[in-house]
Amino acid sequence: MKRDTIHGLTQQFEAQAQQTEGGVEFWFARDLQHLLGYAEWRNFLAAINKAKTACEVSNHLVSDHFVDANKMVGLGSGTQREIEDILLTRYACYLIAQNSDPKKQEIAFAQTYFAVQTRKAELIEKRFLEAERVSARKKLSETEKELSSVIYEQTGGNQDFALIRSKGDQALFNRTTKEMKAQWQVPENRPLADFAPTLIIKAKDFASEITIFNARQNQMTTEKEISKEQVTNHQAVRKTLLERGIQPESLPAAEDVKKVERRIKAEGKKSLKKPDPL
Return the closest-CA partner of residue 139 out of 96, 225, 201, 63. Answer: 201
Helix (H) or strand (E) holding 182: helix 177-184
pLDDT value of residue 10: 87
Q: Which residues of 32-58 are buried (b: 16+ CB within 10 A; e: fewer)?
A: bbebbebeeeeebeebbeebbebbeee
Asked if the structure places residue 274 within a domain, the reply is no
For residue 265, name the pLDDT band (cuts at 50, 70, 90): confident
pTM for this structure?
0.61
Contact 242, 173 (CB under 8 A): no
Q: Output the pLDDT for position 118.
A: 46
Provide the 8-state DSSP code for 118.
S
* β-bridge mates for residue 72, sequence order: 82
Lowest mean pLDDT among 124-128, 147-151, 224-228: 124-128
52 shares its domain with 105: yes
How many residues are given for the chain?
278
Same domain? 104 vs 149: no
Query: What sign has the CA pseudo-torsion 227, 232, 236, 238?
Result: positive
Residue 267 has pLDDT above 50, yes or no: yes
Same domain, 158 and 78: no
Q: Residue 221 domain-assigned? A: yes
Q: Are residues 138 and 51 in the same domain?
A: no
Domain end call among 58, 80, 114: 114
- In terms of domains, do 139 and 255 share one? yes
Mean model confidence pLDDT for the chain = 89
Phi, psi of 19, deg, nearest 5: -140, 140
The answer to whether residue 126 is domain-embedded is: no
In a domain, 89, yes or no: yes
Verify that 138 and 89 share a domain, yes or no: no
The mean per-residue pLDDT over the stretch 97-112 comes to: 88
Q: Which domain, by its residues, includes 183?
A: 132-264
For residues 54 and 158, membership in a common domain is answered with: no
Q: Is the dihedral of CA 28, 34, 36, 40 positive or negative?
A: positive
The mean per-residue pLDDT over the stretch 15-24 comes to 82
Highest mean pLDDT among 24-38, 48-62, 103-117, 240-254: 240-254
pLDDT top residue among 82 and 18: 18
110 and 144, same domain (yes or no):
no
CB 70 within 8 A of CB 83: yes
What is the total count of domains within the chain?
A: 2
Q: Which of 44-48, 52-56, 157-161 has the lowest mean pLDDT?
A: 157-161
Residue 141 and residue 54 share a domain: no
User: Would you say residue 275 lies in a domain?
Assistant: no
Are residues 143 and 242 both part of a single domain? Answer: yes
pLDDT at 219: 94
d(CA 71, CA 137): 45
Looking at residue 121, its pLDDT comes to 55
Contacts made by residues 142-149, CB under 8 angstroms, sequence distance 24+: 143/205, 143/208, 143/209, 143/212, 144/208, 146/212, 147/208, 147/211, 147/212, 147/215
Residue at 119 is within a domain: no
Residues 109 and 159 in one domain: no
Percent of the chain exceeding pLDDT 90 equals 63
